[in-house]
Amino acid sequence: MARVAIVTGGTRGIGEAISLALKDMGMTVAANYAGNDERAKAFSDRTGIKTYKWDVGDYDAVQAGVAQVEAELGPVDVVVNNAGITRDGTLMKMDKQAWNEVIDTNLGGCFTMAKAVFAGMKDRGWGRIVNIGSINGQAGQYGQVNYAAAKSGIHGFTKALAQEGARFGITVNAIAPGYIDTDMVAAVPADVLAKIVAKIPVGRLGQATEIARAVAFLVAEDAGFVTGSTLSINGGQHMY
């Protein structure tokens, strides 16, 4: 029977590339999304991948959403925690809501999703969890104290949970992408983006498929000796 995988934020950008890569591996994929129904339907129509709507920062919604996936597709073997948002601003200008929303979604989502699937993975003796961090969680970034804190927290969360899952056949790893050619990066002003690219040794933005390829490696059947690791994919911009 095919492995069942959930990809949060799985209908666009990096998440879409991951969803497609896992489908190509023969997995049954559930792509989670938070708000854009029209885009999710277009994604599902185009790819044949089922979509499920819930807020990863909402504990009860995650429990219900994962239960629905398992009822319709089967036990969840793979989770890729990709969902993320930005609410940028300097500390002086950032309000508590902007802090809470980013922490709850980007970091809290890793907790809620892992909590919903971990017991089942333990019982079955097999599981793969991949958390998508960020170069800005490793190096920091001006105007992103909330985002950098959440993404940095993901790397610590990954190492701690990997120790809990290891003896049960559950691996937990992270990927820290650099600047990837997605809608989020495309929204950066052209002059600012040019300065960013100038600092990337390979001289270009990354592609979402390059992140997806790494996820496919980490969730493979024969990747059981890789756990607690963070794979940096940033074109050499930050060698961590």
Catalytic residues: 147
Q: In what order do the strands lie in the sheet with 76-81?
A: 50-53, 28-33, 4-7, 76-81, 127-132, 170-177, 230-233
